[in-house]
Amino acid sequence: MNHQTDVRINSGSDYLAGDLFVPHGAIGLVIFVHGSGSSRFSKRNRYVAETLNQGGLATLLLDLLTIEEEEIDRRTADYRFDIERLSTRVGDTLSWLQEQDTVAALPIGLFGSSTGAAAALNAAARHRQRVAAVVSRGGRPDLASAELPNVQAPVLLIVGALDHQVLTFNRQAAERLRAATHEISIVEGATHLFEEPGKLEQVAGLARNWFRQHLPASAATPQPPA
């Protein structure tokens, strides 16, 4: 039986809102990590989440900024580049998930976009025993530069071929990764948001396949201590 619920996650003095969906027989759980300008209600995020659900993966669509922070960020862009704040909240989410009986045993993947990709990679480096795989979509992994060599989970960096500056950032970040498995997947004909026909479908398929490959493997193989 599928399980869907709205959740509130405590992070310091703040609460983060999220939508948790657990399909019957889920083989892993993927947390969506984004900065500002997107949300758990984003059509792009929900499309990708549905594709993952169909592939047997649970999803947590999460807002890492509070409503008040989002409003300030729209005017100032201050919070979207507060990578440490975002990273801490991903860590708090990982702790919360350990206390949820329905998903506590599932291996966890992180799906990061924009500056959220840096927060996802920071969390993967700092919580190696909990994060089993990472996918970045049009992300800024370069903003996690100091932690990149410490990431052990398999990492897939998905970038549009026409998103030239972000592609450069991703190539630079890939050079700093020491994870045994890491790849850059370039989607031809795609710009930053993958709005061109069929491109978001490619992103969703790549992410689904990456998580399906690496999350079940993580469940069968004990993770090294952080």
* Tokens representing residue 35 in the block: 């900065």
Which residue type sits at 89?
A: R
For 120-160, how does the pLDDT look when each residue is reduced to its tens digit (9 = 90+)? 999 999 999 999 999 999 999 999 999 999 999 999 999 99
19 near 4, Cβ under 8 Å?
Answer: yes
Residue 66 lies in a domain: yes
At 206, which CATH number?
3.40.50.1820
Instruction: Looking at mean pLDDT, say which of 60-74, 133-147, 212-226 comes out highest.
Output: 133-147
What gap in Å lies between CA 58 and CA 109, rounded to an integer? 10
Residue 178 lies in a domain: yes
13 burial class (0-12, 13-18, 19+ CB within 10 angstroms)? exposed
Structural domains counted in the chain: 1
Residue 225 lies in a domain: no
223 burial class (0-12, 13-18, 19+ CB within 10 angstroms)? middle
Tell me the average pLDDT of the chain.
Answer: 91
Among 41-50, 86-95, 108-117, where is mean pLDDT lowest? 41-50
What gap in Å lies between CA 216 and CA 51, rounded to an integer? 17
Q: Report which secondary-structure segment, H or E, holds 31.
A: strand 28-34
Residue 216 lies in a domain: yes
123 near 87, Cβ under 8 Å?
Answer: yes
Residue 226 lies in a domain: no
Q: Which domain holds residue 106?
A: 3-220
Residue 20 lies in a domain: yes
Residue 87 lies in a domain: yes
Tell whether pTM > 0.75. Answer: yes
- pLDDT average, residue stretch 104-133: 96
pLDDT of residue 37 exceeding 90, the answer is: no
Residue 36 lies in a domain: yes
